[in-house]
Each structure stands twice: as structure tokens, then as C-alpha cells.
Amino acid sequence: MFLLSRHSCKFKFCISLAFLFGMSMAASAQQENVEDEALVIEEWVAASMCADGDRSIDLNQPISFTYTDSAGNNPRHLTVAQSGLTTADLASLELAWAIAFPATSGMRAAPVIIGDTIFYSATDSGRVFALDIASGCAKWIYESGTRLRSSIAYDVIDGQGILVFSDMPGMIHAVNAGNGESIWIASGQAENNQGMLTGTPVIHEDRVIVPVSGSGVITGGNPNYECCENHGAVTALNIRTGEKFWEYHTMPAAEYTGQLSSTGVRQRGPSGAPIWTTPTIDAERSQIYVTTGENTSHPTTNTSDAIIALDLETGEEKWVFQALVNDMWNFGCTRGGPNCIILEDTNSVDYDFGGPAVLVNAGDRELLIAGQKSGDIWALNPDTGQLVWNQRVGEGTALGGNHWGIAVNSERAFLTINDPGGIGRNSVPGIYTYFVGTGEPSWFYEVEPDCSDGRDDRLRRCEALHGFSATPLSIDGAVITGALDGRLFVFDSDSGEILFEYDTVRDYETVNGVEGYGGSIDSHSIAAGSGMVFVGSGYGQFGQVAGNVLLAFKPAN
């Protein structure tokens, strides 16, 4: 439903007519509703567009932000030259504009920023927007025809700027960044294995590296489902055509194991070890690093809750570091369902790696560093996968611990901790920092709920939802993160001093006239570039606070 308001009274009225006046009236009302929806879509999309003479895109301007950097790494750090922002700028931000998207409950994706254009994926609407940095109006809009999921990758191929992203059914879209026209659409799935595409594809030279999040974690909650059959994978596609070069599977195909659930349903395995994170490219070692989630049925594998190195050219597995063995979890485990079979050695804690591994220059050596939902941060030798150092904060939860990944600058790793309240565990939400070379702790900030000034009326579960779940972003000498209660924070990277704080949970007047309202800040919703900071406010999954706005901040004059 693409509507300007949060609730559709007209749709409920049409349903009432169907019961009162029979199927013929229902059909008529349905047709009228479809026509009304089409009109509303046309109106809000048209209202988003720039004036005819203001829609040009200059791809020769500097690339200011991409989720994965040009080398294929994922440090989430920007210099002053890259971002157009200094630490002092980040201490004096003000809202420049807001744009809202109807029928949207969450703002999850990271954009690409080139010069005066931000390319943004409004995932719930199935659209990608090329927005003017200064005003927020749209230069072009790409309609995928389905819901989108991932952030956006960008590169220049044969002189043409190309945007690449994935959709919910598992297709990869390659789009001309200059005009929003489709170049090709191809399946990112691995053979005989179905999974969501959640992590951002990565473009490296002539190929697109696609992470596949197959598991059965959701369907495992169905007591009649023969749990489980799918698993994580990686595919490599030709950047020019979408044709597949190779594919990697985190485990063999599932088979019936002889186990039965408590209700007599046959069980399958192995399954799980999904890759819902973004791959990291190490061209020097010709390696790809991926991080994985839990197994969703027995038998468990050594590839779950792991960091894995693959050969860049062939996809062959080179080494595996498993952080936690025998973590078997699916949605049946939330209520003690029959597909949640707990054996003597089963952990069943759902401690995925939710963010990518990051290559870090630690003086006389390189390290590969990643955060985990257990609250752990791990540093490995990228040549061998051997552990160099490890720290842990709290006990972790299924929603983090470290939920969506870390940021790293030349000295410190920034580990955000979610730990939703009310769980009865050692809950320590906040941000914790470590020196990358040694793993020794630096500063930390433990965030507390703020339900004053009517925030408890605007925020469901205000006392519990205040942890830092979104991936942080490091810029110059500052680090930006956001809380599930909608507060945006900027910290001094060296001292932990709060430089700036902003409450995004309120209603907004938007540049396209769509009713805008903020909510939880989560996933990959914080970005910056071309002298501005961009924050997606709203994330309605997992009982969090829905919202539908992209907020643009600039330094105050």
C-alpha cells in the first residue's frame, strides 16, 4: 500500500463494503482502491522530482561515500577529503532537509554519494532515488517492481558509472548511474539453494561478489516445516552481463537426518550459516572474507558463526575461523517450538556475525577485525585465520551484542553494543573502543534510556530500546552512531566526549510532501559525504520503532 498517511481508513472502508454489499461491490471497491493507490503513487513520485532543468548528474565529481571502499574494504571511516567534513563540523550540525517514503517502516540501506548526488535505496518502496544533495529532490527514480534489501555498490566499468544492488527475491540489478536505466538484471542465487540477499554486493574489477543469506531461520518457526534446507553462499557474477563465474556454499545440500521433531516432523540438515553481511576484498592476497550466522538445524557445521576466507578467482575455501561451535537456532527456538531441537552440546544462542570483517593496518602487520552478536570483537591474521586478540562486552543477545558491524580508524576499532533491555542478562548497551594493534580497551560510553520530555509517549518500549545497533561511521576525529530510540550521537574518537546529539523521533515537513516521522536508527542507515551527514530514521522490525525519513544534516554556519 503506497499511501501518504500511516493508516488507510479508505482501505478499511472498502473491506466493510465487501461484507455489506457482496462480492460485486467488493470488486468495485477494490478497483477504486487500486486506482486511488496508483494516483497517490503518481502524485508522491512526481512531487519528489527536481525541476526539468535540474536533473543532470555529473559522475566525474569525486566519489565521497560508498559502503565498501574502492579497495574492497569495509572500514566505515572517511577522511576530511573524502567526506568534506571536519570534526568541528560534526559538532555543529543542523537539519538541512528531510524526504519521506510512504508505506515504509524502516530505513536500512547505505547510499552512494558522488559530488552533488546521493543515490539512495528506499527499500520498502522498491525504488532507488538519485537525489540532489542540496535540496533532496530526485533527478531520476528507478522502480524495481519489488522490495529491495541491500545497500548500493558503485564502480565505473568501460567508462560508465554503474550502481549494483539486490532485491528480496534474490535478483541483482545493475543500473546506469547517469540516467537510472536498467543495464541488466540477473539472479544472485547459488544453484539449488534459495536465500535472501541482504548484504551489499561488492564490485571488484570484472565481477560482482554477491552474499547469499540462505538458512530456513524463519520457516523453522513453522511446526509443520521439515527444518531446514537452505544455507549461506557466495556467487560471483560478470559485471557486464550478470553471468555467473563461480559459486561457494557454506555446506553441502541438506538431507533427511533421521531425526524427528517432537511432533513427528522429519528433520533435514545441515542448514544455515547464512551470509547476510557484506564481503570484504583483499586484492593483495587474492582473498574474499565473509562472515556467517548460526546453523538452523542439525548437524552443525564448522562454517557457522565464522569468518571465512575464499579464493578471489575461484571461490575455493582457504581457511575458516569459527568463533562459536554448535550454535543451532531458528524461529522455533523463540517459543520452544518443535523444530528447535536442543542436544547436549547445542548452544542455541543465535550469535551471528552481523557485519563484515575489516582489514586494518596495525603498524607492522595487517589484521582482520570483526564484531559479533555475542558482544565479541575478534582480530585475526588474514593469512591464516589464526586469532591475534579478542575482547568481549556483556553476554550478547540475538539482536546484538554487536548487531550490524563495526567502524575502524587508524588507531581504534569502534564496537557498538545493542543489548535490548528487559532480557535479564548482563546488559551493557553503548559504544566500546579498542586499540587495533593490541586489543587493549580505550574509552567507552554506556548509553542510558531517555524518556523525558514526552519521549516515552512517542517511543514504544522507551526504557528498553536505547542500545546502539546501527553500524557506526568514523569521520576525521569523530565517530557517529545512532540508538534504537532514535537519538543520533557524535563522539570524539580519542576521548569519547559527546560532540553532538539529536533526537530524530518526531514528525517532519518533507521536500516531497509525504508525511514524515522518525523512529529507531538501525542497520546501515548512517552515511556522510559531500559535506553532509545522512541518517535514515525508522526501523520497525523486531518490535522497534517504525519511521520513514531520510534526514540530511549540514554544518551550521
Give a three-class secondary structure readout of 476-490.
CCEEEEECCCCEEEE
Residue 557: what pLDDT?
Answer: 78
Cβ-based burial of 284 (10 A; exposed 0-12, middle 13-18, buried ≥19): exposed
CA gap 540, 450 in Å, rounded: 19
Instruction: Answer with the residue of higher pLDDT: 405 or 8.
Output: 405
Q: Does residue 330 surpass a pLDDT of 90?
A: yes
Average confidence (pLDDT) over 209-230: 95
The cell numbers describing 472, all together, are 557506526
pLDDT per residue over 292-316, tens digit each?
999 999 999 999 999 999 999 999 9
Mean pLDDT score, 383-407:
96
27 pLDDT exceeds 80? no
pLDDT band at 39; cut points 50, 70, 90: low
Per-residue pLDDT at 108: 92
Per-residue pLDDT, 212 = 97
pLDDT of res. 3: 30
pTM: 0.92
Model pLDDT, residue 41: 64
**Residue 431: pLDDT band by 50, 70, 90 thresholds?**
very high
Least confident of 63-77, 320-334, 411-425: 411-425
Mean pLDDT computed over every residue of the chain = 91
Rounded to an integer, the average pLDDT of 159-184 is 97
Q: Is 12 exposed, middle or buried (0-12, 13-18, 19+ CB in 10 A)?
A: exposed
Amino acid (one-letter) located at 265: V
Taking only the tens place, the pLDDT of each residue in 40-62 is: 567 899 999 999 999 999 999 99
Angle at 476 between CA 472 and CA 480, to 5 degrees: 25
Q: Which residues, 6 or more positions from 511, have their beta carbon under 8 angstroms from its beta carbon? A: 48, 97, 98, 99, 135, 136, 137
The answer for residues whose C-beta is within 8 angstroms of residue 309's C-beta and 6 or more apart is 287, 288, 289, 317, 318, 319, 320, 382, 385
d(CA 455, CA 233): 42
- Look at the block and give the residue holding cell 529507531: 520
Q: Please state, in angstroms and as integers, the Cα–Cα distance from residue 524 to each residue in 114, 208, 447, following that order.
A: 18, 20, 20
In this prediction, residues 53-75 reach a mean pLDDT of 96
pLDDT-derived band at 422, boundaries 50, 70, 90: low
Q: How confident is residue 461, by pLDDT bands cut at 50, 70 and 90?
A: confident
Work out whether the CA dihedral 39, 41, 47, 51 comes out positive or negative. Answer: negative
| Strand ranges (E), 364-429 | 366-371, 376-380, 387-392, 407-408, 412-417
Average pLDDT over residues 359-371: 95
Rounded mean pLDDT, 175-191? 97
- Asked if pLDDT for residue 25 goes beyond 70, the answer is no
pLDDT at 34 over 70: no
Measure the CA–CA gap between 172 and 438, rounded to whole angstroms. 39
Answer with the residue of higher pLDDT: 335 or 119: 119
Burial degree of 456 (CB within 10 A; 0-12, 13-18, 19+): middle
